[in-house]
Amino acid sequence: MNRQSLRLRLLLGATAAIFLALAVSWLALTLLFERHIERRVEEDLTRNAQQLVANLTLDTGGKPTVDAAPTDVRFVQPGSGLYWQLSASSASLRSASLWDQGLPVTSTVASDEWQTRVANGPFKQRLILIERMVRPLHAGTTVLVQVAQDRTSISEARNEFARELAQYLLVLWIVLSIAAWLQVHLGLSPLRKLRDELAVLHSNPTARLTSDHPSEVQPLTQAINALADAYQHDLDAARRRAADLAHGLKTPLAALSAQSRRARTDGAVSAADGLDRAIAAARNAVEAELARSRVALIRRARPGAQAPASVVAEQVIGVVERTDFGADRVFEIDIPEELMVPMSPEDLAELMGAVIENAARHSRRRVRVQGRQVEQTRSVCVEDDGPGLDATLVQEALTRGTRLDEHSDGHGLGLAIARELVEATGGTLLIDSGDLGGLRVTARWPK
Amino acid sequence: MRALVVEDDAVVGPDIAQALHDAGFIVDIATSGPDAWYRGDVDDYDVIILDLGLPQLDGLSVLKRWRSNGRAFPVLILSARGDWTEKVEGIEAGADDYLGKPFEMGELIARVRALVRRAAGRASAVIEIGTLTLDTRRMSAAIAGKQLRLSPLEFRFLDYLAHQPDRAVPAGELAEHLYGVADASDSNAIEALVTRLRRKLGVGVIETRRGFGYALAGSA
């Protein structure tokens, strides 16, 4: 797929857009998760702080004391990450976990509500800290109550969440990309069908695109069909003109022959010879042009044409039997009556006429015409008991691109026409030696 | 020998007529379908050269009308289109030979002579043997009144057998009669010919007398 590929563009666009959306989601969800944990930690800290406040008294020396300290075991392990501290103006009381360190104290702390901040604490820990000024009952001074927790655990939880979320989103990205690929595939399938139909149109100019396309593609197919129609029309007109021209030349050629004969009887023999040569060349060109226009018409013919091989063979042989070279030949016909060949009866008559006339012309006594259907492959075979044809001549007669009018002898023109006719209907023409000793020409149409 | 040339082209028609005249024929020319039909119907010609592309009434229709009126003269058609469907239609309408345009005048004369020779010298004799009827002038055959289309070779084969009513004719003799000089392999051709004829006539008409040859059913 190159850069122009619609599919590639759609796929790249879809995967990139999905990736971007998932990345933004990942970032936002991770932040939300962190905020959520922080709130839970604040709640825990507040509960501990409230317990401290409830049991807080000042002794006579103004030193804060707590009757029942929070019981969390981390408050007694030094450097555990969970701390509290009560600071009065003269003295302070700390959880055992602080050991000989203290929580950072500021002077501007509100007394009406718990405040949260993040601060650098002891043991090089980054702390989330809540604090409030409290005035114990019956006391004259205020006490700063602080409870703090190491933020490391929050960061760890957040990182772990982010990692797991990333894995999940990666899988989601893959699944969504596959879904996008499927969507593109299904969405572009009408174009694939269009391409197949265009390939058929290319090989058979009479084919047209079907009208069974989505409404977005329909205008395109209509335009292509209109173009093909116009092209076909021009081509037909040109062919008709060529065929008309060839037909129109026949009678003048006959008249020219008459002049040549007159010249010959008047004694202008060499002039008549030259004239006859020119007339013969013109005749060959005319015949070849007519053969070509016939082949072109076959390609134009509707597909699905069928002709009964045995009937057409009988008809054609009925004609050949009346020609001077066919009058004393025996024609053996061995064709199943139900054998149908995929051409119109007119075209099959043309094919069989060319091959059977050729066979009769070169045969000694017998011409055999056989038809077979083996599974879906249908074949018609014509052989004679004549001298046969040299292998190189056969090759020459059948070589693709050999101009029909280059063959002025009987074999060549007939076989070249036959090959064009068979190949125009999707078959193949094979030439070899038959059981009767002469040439065997086999036309075969696979299913 | 009288010949009718049916051709509307002002150059080709007289040219054919001239060539036939030089070959010893007495020639009439018709230039339209109705004219040709009328002349063919009222005059006796030995041969007719018929162009298929005619004004007013096409050649094929003219030929069919002649044949349905029982006119038996040999007809050679000149086909301008030259395709096989047209040739088949022409032969099935009752033509005896065809020639595609453009043609060599020498070939036309040779074909015309061959047609005349085939039909000439035959009295309008009808031979009946069993259910088979042979019309030697029209070179046609019928089985129990049903007309058959035979090739010249097939007709000559039946005609020869019909003229040897008292014996079975060996394949070698038949080959010699049909082909002039014949060799041993030609008996295969005779066998193929009999096979084809039996398909047209029905199986019982030509009998094989083992060791002797062929004979028509109903003969001795």
Strands (E) located in A47-88: 56-58, 64-66, 82-87
In this prediction the pTM is 0.59
Whole-number Cα distances in Å, B190 to A265, A331, A367, B177, B204: 45, 11, 12, 11, 17
From chain B, the residues in CB contact with A258 under 8 A are: 11-12, 15, 18, 105
Query: How does DSSP classify residue B14?
Result: H
H or E element that contains B191? helix B186-201
- Is B80 near chain A, with CB under 8 Å? yes
CB A51 within 8 A of CB A95: no
CA distance B199 to chain A (A): 10
Between residues A129 and B82, the one the model is more confident about: A129
User: Which of these, A100, A64, A86, lies nearest to A148 by C-alpha position?
Assistant: A86
Torsion of Cα atoms, B79 then B82 then B84 then B85, to 10° = -60
From chain A, the residues in CB contact with B19 under 8 A are: 261
Q: For an interface test with A, give the residue of B151, B154, B185, B186 to mutate (most A CBs within 10 A).
A: B151
Q: CB under 8 Å to B145, separation ≥6 — which residues?
A: B133
Largest CA distance in chain B: 61
CB A361 within 8 A of CB A395: no
CA distance B219 to A294: 51
CA distance A240 to chain B (A): 14
Provide the pLDDT for residue B6.
93
Provide the pLDDT for residue A42.
94
Q: Which residue has the tokens 């990205």?
A: A173
How many Cβ atoms from other residues are within 10 Å of residue A279's Cβ?
19
- Considering only CA atoms, give the Rg of chain B: 19
CA distance A309 to A380: 8
Residue B77 has pLDDT above 60, yes or no: yes
Burial of A112 (0-12, 13-18, 19+ CB in 10 A): exposed
CA distance A430 to A428: 7
Query: How does DSSP classify residue B166?
Result: T
The ipTM estimated for the assembled molecules is: 0.80
Residue B154 has pLDDT above 80, yes or no: yes
From chain B, the residues in CB contact with A350 under 8 A are: 83-85
Q: CB under 8 Å to B35, separation ≥6 — which residues?
A: none
Low-confidence ranges of chain A (pLDDT < 70): 1-3, 204-205, 297-304, 391-393, 395-413
Q: Which two tokens stand for residue B205?
A: 């008409």
A21: which strand partners?
none
Alpha helices in A204-268 (DSSP H): 218-265
CB A296 within 8 A of CB A419: no
Provide the pLDDT for residue A410.
45
The predicted model gives B161-179 an average pLDDT of 84
Provide the pLDDT for residue B219.
67
Q: Which residue has the tokens 């006391």?
A: A139
**Percent residues over pLDDT 90 in chain B:** 10
Q: Which two tokens stand for residue A154?
A: 């929050």
Q: Which two tokens stand for residue A412?
A: 């060549």
- Is B101 near chain A, with CB under 8 Å? yes
- Is B65 near chain A, with CB under 8 Å? no
Provide the pLDDT for residue A407.
43
CA distance B78 to B99: 5
Provide the pLDDT for residue A112.
81
The predicted model gives B200-208 an average pLDDT of 83
* Interface touch A318/B96, C-beta < 8 Å: no
